[in-house]
């Protein structure tokens, strides 16, 4: 049975932990507001760029741009994983890593067995997980979310498109968390390359005159489209991470509060028992002296 000193030490430790979790919740809430604003602001531009690319791709032969042409025989797959740099955000990292592992080893099991699956990992957690398990990591971006910048998304897009053009990847998939609400992030595995016509959007009604030409414009738009989509996914993942951390820290704070209540009851009971025992000993001693 724990002594009064043991219970006091434990109560003190839990109070310190509770202060930390409460502070982390407040920091995550402040970061969430900014991250959510950035993610929401990126959606219209990314959506319109995708729509414009769909409109143009309907007017040109997709074989003119290799990034628009799908390959029948998929032998090599590149998975771009967008995870987090830190933990203490519930099951956020665990869920996204499980999905990436499923895509790599189950959805493309034949390619994985032949060594045809490689990864680009944005975020320390995903990078460390797959590096320790012997997966082929083309590039890793640990601590990328400490200072999130568009140049990283552009570099990832250039690496992925370069591998696709060189035949080092026949399909490129991005695994990330899409921010929907504080309590409901959505795990997603989206095809990035090739850019399928049905995913690019339907042709808008009406006819337009393009200068210099639809083919030239589409060559200019494709790299921007890839960079913008990856940037949007990184912003979505960052917002989902902050929401998950805020929720996890709020839950930890409430659990600490309940544990403190239980420990205080145990402490008071133990203290009352000790006082009762001391009084009994005093009374017994007084009776012995009388006799």
Q: Which residues are catalytic?
A: 89
Q: What are phi and psi of 184, to 5 degrees?
A: -140, 70
Q: Is there a cis peptide before residue 194, judged by omega within 30 degrees of 0?
A: yes
Between the CA of residue 262 and those of 14, 15, 19, 192, what are the distances in Å? 12, 13, 18, 52
CB-CB contact of 122 with 141 (8 Å): yes
∠ Cα 78 84 87 (to 5°): 140
| Sequence-distant contacts of 98-101: CB under 8 A, at least 24 apart | 99/175, 99/187, 99/189, 100/126, 100/130, 100/175, 100/189
CA distance 236 to 169: 25
- ∠ CA(44), CA(30), CA(92), 5° rounding? 75
Please answer whether residues 29 and 233 qualify as being in contact, where contact means their C-beta atoms are separated by less than 8 angstroms: no
- Cβ partners under 8 Å of residue 228, min gap 6: 42, 45, 46, 49, 153
Token pair, residue 105, equals: 């080893």
Do 222 and 39 contact (CB within 8 A), yes or no? Answer: no
Nearest to 66 by CA among 199, 155, 166: 166
> How far is it, in rounded angstroms, from Cα 47 to Cα 234?
15
CA atoms within 13 A on the CB side of 82: 30
């Amino acid at each position: 049975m724990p002594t009064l000193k043991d219970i006091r030490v434990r109560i003190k430790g839990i109070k310190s932990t509770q202060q930390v979790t409460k502070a982390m919740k407040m920091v995550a809430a402040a970061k969430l507001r900014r991250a959510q604003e950035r993610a929401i602001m990126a959606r219209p531009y990314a959506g319109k760029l995708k729509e414009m690319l769909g409109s143009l791709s309907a007017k040109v032969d997709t074989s003119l741009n290799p990034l628009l042409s799908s390959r029948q025989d998929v032998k090599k797959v590149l998975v771009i994983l967008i995870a987090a740099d830190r933990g203490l955000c519930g099951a956020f990292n665990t869920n996204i890593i499980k999905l990436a592992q499923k895509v790599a080893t189950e959805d493309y099991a034949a390619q994985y067995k032949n060594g045809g699956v490689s990864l680009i990992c944005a975020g320390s957690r995903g990078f460390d997980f797959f590096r320790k398990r012997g997966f082929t990591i083309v590039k890793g971006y640990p601590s990328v979310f400490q200072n999130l910048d568009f140049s990283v998304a552009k570099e990832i897009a250039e690496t992925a498109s370069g591998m696709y053009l060189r035949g080092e990847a026949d399909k490129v998939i991005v695994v990330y968390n899409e921010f929907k609400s504080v309590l409901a992030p959505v795990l997603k595995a989206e095809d990035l390359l090739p850019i399928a016509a049905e995913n690019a959007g339907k042709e808008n009604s009406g006819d337009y005159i393009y200068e210099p030409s639809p083919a030239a414009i589409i060559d200019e738009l494709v790299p921007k489209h890839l960079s913008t989509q990856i940037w949007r996914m990184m912003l979505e993942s960052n917002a989902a991470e902050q929401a998950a951390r805020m929720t996890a820290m709020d839950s930890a704070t409430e659990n600490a509060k309940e544990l403190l209540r239980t420990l205080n009851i145990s402490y008071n009971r133990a203290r009352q028992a000790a006082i009762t025992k001391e009084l009994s000993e005093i009374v017994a001693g007084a009776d012995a002296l009388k006799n």
